[in-house]
């Protein structure tokens, strides 16, 4: 494993030990050419998806009703049926 690959893996390795959980964000190393905005939307790390990720974490912690997350998903126009960008 290259050092750069190891550095990319560290956040996910540490995340399981954090009490509040951890969500990795980033598009490093996927070899796609597009605008940064389009890549952020594709990999679901744009502002709307980050907001929903934060609300989802709050709902899982019991600090927010799941219905509020569903409302945010609809309001922000996020497609919950979208394929995983890493799957294609």
In a domain, 28, yes or no: yes
pLDDT value, residue 71: 98
Kindly state whether residue 10 falls inside one of the protein's structural domains.
yes
Q: What is the pLDDT of residue 7?
A: 58
Between CA 38 and CA 6 the distance in angstroms is 26
The pTM (predicted TM-score) of the whole model is 0.64
Structural domain of residue 62, as residue ranges?
3-79
Tell me the CATH number at 7: 3.40.50.920
58-69 b/e with 16+ CB inside 10 Å = b?
ebeeeebeeeeb
Residue found by looking up tokens 């049926």 in the block: 81
pLDDT of residue 83: 87
Contacts of 14-21 with C-beta under 8 Å, sequence gap 24+, read 20/57, 20/61, 21/57, 21/60
**Is 48 part of a structural domain of the chain?**
yes
- The total number of structural domains in the chain stands at 1
In a domain? residue 62: yes
| 84 within a domain of the structure (yes/no) | no
């Amino acid at each position: 494993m290259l050092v750069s690959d190891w550095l990319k893996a560290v956040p996910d390795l540490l995340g399981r030990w954090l009490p509040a959980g951890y969500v990795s964000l980033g598009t490093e190393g996927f070899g796609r050419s597009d605008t940064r905005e389009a890549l952020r939307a594709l990999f679901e790390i744009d502002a709307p998806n980050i907001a929903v990720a934060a609300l989802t974490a709050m709902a899982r912690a019991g600090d927010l009703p799941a219905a509020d997350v569903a409302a945010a998903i609809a309001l922000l126009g996020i497609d919950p049926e979208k394929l995983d960008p890493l799957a294609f």
